[in-house]
Amino acid sequence: MVERNEALRNLNSNIDYIKKHNELANDAEFCRVTGVSKATLSSVRKGERIPMIYPFFEQVCAYSSLTVDTLLNRLLEEESEEEDERMQYEQDLQKCVGVYGVYYNNTSSLKGRESKSDAEALKYAVLLIYRENGEYGCLADFGLSKEEQEERYKYCFKTNSQGKILRKPNFKTDFVNKYMYDKLYFGTIRLNDRSIVIELEASQDIVTMMLRKYAGTSSVYHGGLAAAVSYSKGVESVPVLQVIGISRALISDSAEVISSKLYLTYPSIKCIEEDEKELLEMIQKITDGNAFPEAESGVPAFGGRKDQMRLYLHEAMTRAINRTVQRNLCRCFRISHLDNNDWYHYAISFEEG
């Protein structure tokens, strides 16, 4: 049970809730349809007292089908809003359920892509988002050729007696049983205000993907761009830092065309001029013997010891590298928040075609 003042606040809020959901214009109309006296309702509105069970609560409960406990101890408007949000979240997740073609560049983020063209670096994957036992989940099969992607994608569908292609009811289970010897990544899916966040894991490899949240009215999520980050320990099937394209329908264009449509293709990590300048100046100071503050004797405070100099330089380099990686990481993630119409319309054309 709540305290008296809170119970009165709840009661007033719930009276407003009853009025709203029964389209009652004001308190006078509420009194008319429930039989509650205006004087009693006025005392409730002023927070003076909680009325007796009879006749006030008997009349309100008979009209609204609510209990006294509900009227005094719960806030129906807030609960209704939370339920609406939960239902909307469920609907948005349901839109995502399906089979997707994924397209990305298979080059190491720290090596850049100097040795490969966009088309040569392009790799393929299949992503499954499913609902199983009331829970949503996802799995992915990375590092595929175009032919392997097409085979795995098509395996998730069947043709019915009318010749219509439909997704298999148990497409996730069938896929796992068929391709159990692939390195499959399993994980979770969740939504925030602007993005779809997918987290996948396989042995020591963890992949986080952020997709632009689909804001359309369609019952399905058609396609978009994503940013992916992988904490990989010697595993090369997933990019370490990557921008990818995703589409509900397989894209039949050539690797050259698909590569040209990816929003940023592959963002090579580069050290910006300020970081390079800082490192060069540090090296110059060490070379000149002026890297450290001098003692009164004029001898460097660290005594010019090489191990101290190496440590100092190592720390400076680590700071510069961390700043560089963080800048590129944010640059990569940021695109998942943009509405990239070029890729969206490119991907959706295959869905409709």
Q: Are residues 254 and 278 in the same domain?
A: no
- Whether 18 shows a pLDDT value over 60: the answer reads yes
Q: Same domain, yes or no, for 104 and 208?
A: yes
Nearest to 118 by CA among 263, 226, 234, 227: 263
Whether residues 110 and 220 fall in one domain: yes
Same domain flag for 323 and 345: no
First CA to last CA distance, the chain: 60
d(CA 83, CA 94): 16
Q: Is residue 240 located within the same domain as residue 115?
A: yes
225 with 307, same domain: the answer is: no
**CATH code at 51?**
1.10.260
9-31 burial, b for 16+ CB within 10 Å, e for fewer?
ebbebbbebbbeeeebeebeebb
Final residue in a domain of this structure, among 31, 46, 74: 74
Instruction: State whether 114 and 137 are in the same domain.
Output: yes
Range of the domain at 243: 90-263+338-352
Specify the DSSP element, H or E, that contains 198. strand 195-202
Residue reference for tokens 């499954």: 128
Residue 32 and residue 139 in one domain:
no
pLDDT for 105-132, tens place per residue?
Answer: 765 433 444 445 667 778 899 999 999 9
* Cα(87)–Cα(113) distance, integer angstroms: 44
Ranges 107-111, 124-128, 280-284, 302-306: which has the least confidence? 107-111
pLDDT > 50? residue 295? no
Cα separation, 205 vs 51, whole angstroms: 63
- 51 preceded by cis ω (within 30°)? no
Q: Tokens representing 292?
A: 């450290």
3-state secondary structure at position 48: coil
**pTM greater than 0.85 (yes/no):** no
pLDDT of residue 104: 81
What is the C-alpha to C-alpha distance for residues 221 and 162, in angstroms, rounded to an integer? 25
The domain total for the chain is 3
Q: Tell whether 150 is covered by a domain.
A: yes
**Per-residue pLDDT tens for 73-90?**
988 888 888 888 889 889
Q: Hey, which residues does 226 pair with through a beta bridge?
A: 211, 244
* 53: helix, strand or coil: helix
